[in-house]
Structure 1
């Protein structure tokens, strides 16, 4: 195992909402995450990052008429455990942490019709790390994210839960 302790990862995601928001039927979403990690023990490290994820709905929803998009953006942080599988180029990866995100609601024209402000949520994930050589790794992962926020529309405050299962394949550079 190399003595390199830092990593940088970029991971595009495909996302599946576990429930709708109000009367908005959420379609399959997409997004990406960018993270930096620091390994402080042989198999355990911390990560911080930023992500953007979008869910479309072609149903008029509570903030207006026409198609509505729900975007969740913000920060990630937590711990990740990466352990080799025997003497192969594969390792398993487990991560758990928090998110500090907000939900924006956008109309057909791309105007933000509601914003939840940032708040804390949580995430868990598991996957593999495949050593590609020259300190490059491929990291297919499945995860779950949960965020509950209040969105104010006019004089009405609505509790919104944006929870989803995410599948992504990241590319990481160890340095």
Structure 2
């Protein structure tokens, strides 16, 4: 972003759809590539550093099963956006923070079979911020997320680790 934009605009809202690549299986079942989206707001409290918070939904299909699982919940953390060299339009973006999500296991009818309850996890991300003009930015990003929750299956409880890489392309409006 140009120095004029940084000096005047501190708030942004971003819609970020993405593709999720799981790094582990779900209990004893293979997990397929998933998808999701997030909506987040951020406030820049220093020249290049800001805080973000939002809500997200991500879903994964369990291979050879009539079940899938969804992660829904909140995201929060810090983001650092800094121009690359002398560019006024292109910046790099670094993010780090927490997620407060729960795992919902659903059947093909969309009925929730099990729910883990919310718990804390974490996320890291890196990407680019390209100023499109009129305070609109394009933000391709690559990240990693981890969440561990206990889920009850009938009378037994299993610890489920949901770890995945995400590639997302956000569109942000700066205010």
Same fold (TM over 0.5): yes
Cα deviation, residue 23, structure 1: 2.1
Mean Cα deviation higher: 164-173 or 103-112 = 103-112
Aligned to 1:46: 51
Give the TM-score taking structure 2 as reference length: 0.94
User: Deviations 1:6-25 (Å, cap 9, x if unpaired)?
Assistant: 00000101000001011221
| Residue 90 (structure 2) pairs with residue 85 (structure 1) | no
Report 1:1-175 matches (<5 A): 1=3, 2=5, 3-60=8-65, 67-88=66-87, 89-175=89-175
* Unmatched segments (≥5 aa) in structure 2: none
Q: How much does 1:58 deviate?
A: 3.1
Moved segments of 4+, more than 3 Å: none
Q: How many residues get paired?
A: 169
Q: How far has the Cα of 1:43 moved from its partner?
A: 0.2
TM-score (normalizing by structure 1): 0.94
Mapped to 1, the partners of 2:18 and 2:70 lie a distance apart of: 14
RMSD: 0.8
CA distance in 2, matches of 1:70, 1:106: 6
| Aligned partners of 1:23 and 1:59 also within 8 Å | no
Consecutive unaligned residues in structure 1, runs of 5 or more = 61-66
